[in-house]
Chain A
Amino acid sequence: MTVNGTEYTRDVEPRMLLIHFIRDELELTGSHWGCDTSNCGACVLWLDGTPLKSCTALAAMANGRDIRTVEGLERGGELDPVQQGFIACHGLQCGFCTPGMLMTARWLIDHHPHPTEAEIREAISGQICRCTGYENIVRSVRWAAEHPSGAAS
């Protein structure tokens, strides 16, 4: 599979979860494992351009496919606007849900460049944050939508 533009080939047990493969085998530990049941979204990454809860997908299902994780957001040393937004608007506290939130936020803005507050809340409603009460996550995503080229725009 391709992860953040790099191709990886590994032999894995058929039962290995994608989140464990990414974290334990590839040592990309930005995506987190929070609940096992697809409820919390700490494990959200992109599979072929679509956000996926990787705790309930098998690594083998990603065979030959394209994955993007939080480690793949930064491009050429430049933080993605969603990353900048989360810093500017205090969109994170403990940081555990943050990678998953960032991946969903990036996807949302890619597909809906000017999301309303309700659309942002809906987009992240499958993910749990225990620290922020969501307010500043919503603000962070809006900041990113308003600054498509980051802080310079």
Chain B
Amino acid sequence: MSTAEPDPPLGYGSMRRKEDTRFIRGQGSFIDDIKLGGMLHGAVLRSPYAHARIQSIDVSAAQAHPRVRAVITGETLATRDLAWMPTLAGDTQAVLATDKVRFQGQEVAFVVADDRYAARDALELIDVEYEPLPTVMDARQALDPDAPVVRDDLGASNHIFDWESGDAARTDEIFAAADVTIAEDLLYPRVHPAPLETCGAIADFDPISGKLTVWSTSQAPHPHRLLYSMVAGVPEHKIRVISPDIGGGFGNKVPLYPGYLCAIVGSMITGRPVKWIEDRSENLMSTSFARDYHMHGEIAATRDGKILAVRVRVLADHGAFNGAAQPTKFPAGFFGVFTGSYDLQAAHCQVTGVYTNKAPGGVAYSCSFRITEAVYLVERMVDMLAFELDADAAELRMQNLLRPDQFPYTCATGWVYDSGDYTSTLQLALDKADYTGLRQEQAAGRERGELMGIGISFFTEAVGAGPRKHMDIMGLGMADGVELRVNPGGTAVLRIAVQTQGQGHETTFAQIVAEELGIPPDRIEVVHGDTDQTPFGLGTYGSRSTPVSGAATAVAARRIRDKARVVAAAMLEVATGDLEWEKGRWYVRGDPDQGRSIAEIALAAHSDLELPAGVEGQLDASCVYNPPNLTYPCGAYVCVVDVDPGTGKVEVRRFVAVDDCGVRINPMIVEGQIHGGLADGIGMALMEVIAYDTQGNCLGGSFMDYLLPTAVECPSWELGETVTPSPHHPIGAKGVGESATVGSPPAVVNAVIDALRPFGVRHADMPLTPAQVWRATQGRPLRTDLAQS
């Protein structure tokens, strides 16, 4: 376990976080902590129905409330051409419903009042007449000819897209000839990222200057600014988007939400700042969910365990609007990496996206654009193959994992894995867990009727989107800018296009500069989360900060180092070729005493020193980093569970996680990121689900119903690491923010199913609640996404 040294390192290493000093004093500045003079408060009226036609909305009583300043409906917005907004997936979404409501919790009206209590009171005074319509809650029925049509504004079907990847014919051939094939339906249920801070915004429109300032819980302030400009008709240069301290994002805070736009319109109408903060139920019921993938997976292998091919058909439930936030050319995200960590001869997937009467979203919860679903699929299928072959799950993986000499490896669906040492990583995890000993203990326990399970997963991530040639969001290429300036006194300011929601950018990005330039991290200010203060970039999600903006930072720092060399040469009156770099200074080769520190060089660069022709003074640089490829972190996880045979309750006894995320800038922070993702895996595997009843009532609309893991459900995590640098990344780092969330759910599920081996259970869908586990032992597992009648 890495602990921070009291003295910060001059570069990489475990270092106390710079941002902690405000948070441990309660001095963070989260959205609801911000108070502006004259600020009003907004609240959203939401639909109680999942599908209903709006017959009338009477706001007169609400408008007559003495503390209400404005009541906004879809009709109000329509007069400003604002009733609908674009989503990041190229669909449109109702800001406030005009024709009908399409999911429970959809936004119908917005009240602006003097305080938050009055705003809520006034919601009660709005009279909406609804005509309830039949619902489509089960994605498998969405394409039935007689299914109710969710988006009659678009057409006569609930179909959104078909997308495929891989070689269908070749895959079919291999399946037809294979010794062993296995097929299984797997549901990755709808879950919710549930950051502890809900979403919110404060909009402040100045009618004189025409300037709009929006403080919001945004993981992507620059793209949001463009969207606001498109929707609200305010030119981009007049919009400033500020992401203050954010209480966790996990993808939930990437999309644009109607509440943000309502706050903007509220400010435009009232001429005063308007704050809108959603409550927990609003967050769970209306903002971006994750997963909801109905997968039919198949795996083909030889009798002796050589995996040949994987085939999968997916029905993707996108809810009422296609609000998935992902690279535009990838409607199923990066699900194409379902080939996993194995040397397959062929693979094919076919994904169909459908509308249902559920909340929009889909790509969130640290999913690396759907690699979570991909890894779950392939790692469950491999375990099912082990089950059918009566093979050991670890040996089967070891037999099929990619070998180090196969990298860079082009997988059967065309993704180019940059580097990895998979077998060493798995072996380390097995050794740390004492896998052999565990299997012996399990065998002995089974004799006594104990249900102990050991689950393995091996994941390959693909993060750091991405090469702009292939990856854009709404036409915005996924490259990030940085600006780095060394001040005359030798301190530095780094401006980045990504921002922290807890990841610790203020610390790690300073460490990257420190490593490159030898300026101590505490003398480097990292500016982030403000479109007026930072260069353009796509934001923080998909584990892209270090792979993209981290690379940009290193490149900019190296440009400064090169410039410093020229200045140092002028100072020392030698040729640049005579200078050598050691961290923090240039010195004359063969005469180490003759040198200039970066601080001395910075001062000279701002001074009257005569520089060679063509060399500008000062010491600054910028970079827009366009990644040549994604980075491919990997990891091997071993989970040990004990299942209570009487109740089906699962206890996670141990969890061993060996991660390879390339070079680690701050090992303490990396380990913290992994810890958090492992807890997510326990949550998703064992307790989290957003389910619905047939009328479309959300059954996970509060923390009393949507269960999250606490400290007593989590074991003490046992971590290990291998380091295989990314060959194409300037510092060899690969990103780690989502690795554990991606990799851990199948390890937990595989462990529980392994524990249930005596009952002949091959698969049961998440979440593996006590009821679900018990029913699995009885041979009748539940459909976890729908209320059981």
Contact = CB atoms under 8 A, between A and B. Distances in A.
Interface of A: 13, 15-16, 20, 23-24, 27-37, 39-40, 42, 69-71, 73-74, 79, 83, 86-90, 92-99, 102, 117, 120-122, 124-139, 151
Given A94-B197, A135-B717, A32 B20 contact: no
Interface in B85-136: 115-117
B693 interface: no
Contacts of A36: 279-281, 702
Residue with the greatest number of chain B CB neighbours at <10 A, chosen from A32, A42, A96 = A96
B711 A137 contact: yes
21 contacts: A32-B32, A32-B197, A34-B197, A36-B279, A36-B280, A36-B281, A39-B703, A79-B25, A83-B24, A93-B503, A93-B504, A96-B30, A99-B26, A121-B712, A124-B711, A125-B711, A130-B195, A130-B676, A133-B677, A134-B675, A136-B672
B251 to A, nearest CB: 12
Contacts of A31: 26
Contacts of A134: 675, 679, 710-711, 714
Interface in B661-687: 668-669, 671-679
B19 interface: yes
Contacts of B671: 90
Contacts of A135: 675, 714, 716-717
B209 interface: no
Contact of B17 (A28, A90, A132): A90
Interface stretch (B154-162, B241-249, B726-734): B241-249
B703 A98 contact: no
B25 A30 contact: yes
B1 interface: yes
B27 interface: yes
Contacts of A128: 196, 703, 708, 710
B250 interface: yes
B781 interface: no
B502 interface: yes
* Chain B interface mostly: loop
Contacts of A39: 702-704
Contacts of A37: 280, 702-704
Contacts of B35: 27
A132 B672 contact: yes
The 5 residue pairs across chains A and B that have the minimum distance between CB atoms: A30-B26, A94-B502, A95-B23, A96-B247, A133-B675
Nearest to A15: B117
Given A93-B503, A120-B711, A130-B676, 16 more contacts: A29-B30, A29-B32, A29-B33, A34-B197, A36-B281, A37-B702, A39-B704, A40-B280, A86-B20, A89-B3, A90-B672, A128-B703, A131-B672, A133-B678, A134-B675, A134-B714
A96 B678 contact: no
Contacts of A102: 24
A90 B248 CA distance: 16
Contacts of B22: 95
B26 A71 contact: yes
Contacts of A42: 196
Contacts of A94: 195-197, 245-248, 500-502
B4 A92 contact: no
A34 B117 CA distance: 17
Nearest to A72: B26
A90 B197 contact: no
Residue with the greatest number of chain B CB neighbours at <10 A, chosen from A23, A88, A127, A135 = A135
A35 B108 CA distance: 22
Residue with the greatest number of chain B CB neighbours at <10 A, chosen from A90, A102, A133 = A133
A92 B704 contact: no
Contacts of A89: 3
Interface in B25-45: 25-28, 30, 32-33, 35
